[in-house]
Amino acid sequence: MSLMKMTAVELGSRIKSKEISAVEAARAALDQIKSVEDKVNSYVTVLDEDVVLERAARVQQEIEAGKLTGPLAGVPVAIKDNMCTEGILTTCSSKILSNFKPGFSSEAVLNLEKAGAVILGKTNMDEFAMGSTTETSYFGPTKNPWNTAHVPGGSSGGSCSAVAAGECFYALGSDTGGSIRQPSSFCGVTGIKPTYGTVSRYGLIAYGSSLDQIGPVAKDVTDCAVILDTIASYDAKDSTSVKREYDFASALKDDVKGMRIGIPKDYFGEGLDSEVKEAVLNVAKTLEKKGAIVEEFDLSLVSYAIPAYYVIASAEASSNLARFDGVKYGYRTEDYEGLHNMYKKTRSEGFGPEVKRRIMLGSFVLSSGYYDAYYLKALRTKALIKQAFDKAFASYDMILAPAAPTTAPKLGDSLSDPIKMYLGDIYTISVNLAGLPGISVPCGIDSKGLPIGAQFIGNCFDEKKIIQAAYSYEKTRDMMLSDMCV
């Protein structure tokens, strides 16, 4: 079996048993990047070969010295470019941060490094995580490894395509409205958006602070559970961090007997591609055969999620992105007259159109006279959506839904119609509004040869339940890998 087809956990155990060295693994990943990166553009930054191999050698020494014993020691990883990495370019795929090297690393990255991760580079994304296709990146679009005429989804498109193309063994993404689950679904990989507060946001460059969560992207459920165990931690530096139980890997059990799975009827109506619908409903049938109890129910309020999300996320973004002003770091316009002109020109030149659209939208909904009508109303809607989920979880252990209404669209098809792109987030957005965990697992391939993803949604802190269900489902099918991953 080719090295790059291995899961992170498989590779980790072979490094541990000395069949493969961390340096060989890093070398293999770098070679694969060299051979396919031109076609997919998964990375904004690939670290210098010397730097990566030196780090791998050091990790190998520590493994041999018995200092690093975890399942991910020596396994190469890619990090989404909105997580700070000390001394390494961190751009959020934006011109305005195109020269920014942070002075500290994000907590999730530090947790990985402590576990012996070898960082390969920083992955491409929609600018400031705003977008569903990874086409809004200042560094050009990422392409779907299954078919490079299609998008990989977004905003963690680079992380998902890197995993799908075998350019890394696993990656970190971030999910504000579906940014891990939707591209995972488009790229045929597995990704988890954990319960809000599970992974520290310290060092994650904020988009929508009340919605952002970091999570794993990998080839299978086992990898995702193990990675989540590694990156999740209570962090006093993040006030929204939660003290909770972890041990996600203990849920990797092939058993769904008696599990109650709810299928929200309102998620399977108009707008859902028939092939996607069939594939996801097949997941339900498969689990039913294995002993789960599957029922349809009405979730309600589904149509309110997208407007509520775009009001809240844009409002927070308009404030979060205010600090990018050319004063302290990042891009500053060349010619300007006075402070205001500097601000104006820097931000006009530094941000792309989708970011500007959301900053304007967010500034508008917070402005005096509109705050109550838009922002407050959106917050109330958010509370009602949470209530609807609470009601559902009183009856069901989890909810099964598509991750996206379609498979990956063609490059260029989405940007011309932003509203259509926003509507594509319909199955993922409510999960962020309610702070819930969700996992996206591949569940089939459509007639165009593109992957389809199913999403399990759990109650807050119920990651273990959805991991167990996804794992049990995964046991019924073969590993899905793109042809590019060799």
Clarify whether 155 is annotated catalytic.
yes
Q: Which is nearer to other proteins, 148 or 430 (CB)?
A: 430
| Contact between 186 and 152 (Cβ < 8 Å) | yes
What's the token pair of residue 4? 């790059």
Binders of other proteins among 238-267, rule CB under 8 A?
Answer: 238-240
Q: Which is nearer to other proteins, 132 or 320 (CB)?
A: 320
**Closest CB 379 distance from other proteins, rounded Å:** 8
Q: Which stretch binds other proteins (CB under 8 A): 51-59, 97-105, 181-189, 393-401?
A: 97-105
What's the token pair of residue 466? 């959805």
Binders of other proteins among 286-345, rule CB under 8 A?
Answer: 315-316, 318-319, 322-325, 327-329, 339, 343
* 383 belongs to the binding site for other proteins (CB under 8 A): no
In which order are the strands placed within the sheet that holds 451-458?
A: 43-46, 118-123, 76-80, 170-175, 213-218, 190-193, 438-445, 451-458, 398-402, 260-264, 293-297
Q: Which is nearer to other proteins, 368 or 447 (CB)?
A: 368
Chosen residue from 367, 380, 383, 410 binding other proteins by CB under 8 A: 367
DSSP string, 390-403: HHHHHH-SEEEEES
Strands 438-445 and 451-458: antiparallel
Degrees (nearest 5) of the Cα angle 391, 209, 314?
90
Task: List CB contacts of 257: < 8 A, sequence separation 6 or more.
Answer: 290, 291, 292
Q: Which stretch binds other proteins (CB under 8 A): 7-15, 234-242, 353-361, 387-395?
A: 234-242
Q: Which is nearer to other proteins, 300 or 363 (CB)?
A: 363
CA distance 260 to 391: 14
**Closest CB 384 distance from other proteins, rounded Å:** 18
**Segment holding 40, helix H or strand E:** helix 22-40
**Which of the following is catalytic: 93, 159, 179, 241?**
179
Can you list the positions of beta strands (E) in 259-353?
260-264, 293-297
Q: Which residue shows structure tokens 């969560």?
A: 213
The 177-216 site mask, x for binding other proteins (CB under 8 A), equals ------------------------xxxxxx-xxx------
Q: Which is nearer to other proteins, 375 or 473 (CB)?
A: 375
* 371 belongs to the binding site for other proteins (CB under 8 A): yes
What's the token pair of residue 157? 């498109």
Binders of other proteins among 15-34, rule CB under 8 A?
Answer: none
* 90 belongs to the binding site for other proteins (CB under 8 A): yes
**Closest CB 55 distance from other proteins, rounded Å:** 22
Chosen residue from 84, 118, 227, 228 binding other proteins by CB under 8 A: 84
| Contact between 72 and 112 (Cβ < 8 Å) | yes
Q: Which stretch binds other proteins (CB under 8 A): 60-68, 110-118, 262-270, 360-368?
A: 360-368
**421 C-beta neighbours (distance < 10 Å), count:** 20
**Residue 442 backbone phi and psi in degrees, to 5:** -65, 140
Q: Compute how many residues bind other proteins; rule: CB under 8 A.
A: 43
Q: Which stretch binds other proteins (CB under 8 A): 31-39, 102-110, 404-412, 420-428?
A: 102-110
* 375 belongs to the binding site for other proteins (CB under 8 A): yes
| Contact between 120 and 37 (Cβ < 8 Å) | no
Q: Which is nearer to other proteins, 296 or 370 (CB)?
A: 370
| Contact between 331 and 350 (Cβ < 8 Å) | yes
**Closest CB 101 distance from other proteins, rounded Å:** 11
Q: Which is nearer to other proteins, 94 or 185 (CB)?
A: 94
Q: Which is nearer to other proteins, 90 or 286 (CB)?
A: 90
DSSP string, 431-443: HHHTT--EEEEEE
Strands 438-445 and 213-218: unpaired
Which 8-state DSSP code applies to residue 219?
S
* 106 belongs to the binding site for other proteins (CB under 8 A): yes
Chosen residue from 65, 66, 103, 372 binding other proteins by CB under 8 A: 103
Clarify whether 184 is annotated catalytic.
no
Q: Which is nearer to other proteins, 102 or 145 (CB)?
A: 102
Strands 190-193 and 213-218: antiparallel
DSSP string, 111-146: HHHHTT-EEEEEE--SGGG--SSS-S-TT----BTT
Clarify whether 472 is annotated catalytic.
no
**Which of the following is catalytic: 93, 94, 137, 155?**
155
**Closest CB 71 distance from other proteins, rounded Å:** 27
Positions marked catalytic: 80, 155, 179
**Interface residues toward other proteins, by CB under 8 A:** 83-84, 90, 92, 97, 100, 102-104, 106, 201-206, 208-210, 236-240, 315-316, 318-319, 322-325, 327-329, 339, 343, 363, 366-368, 371, 375
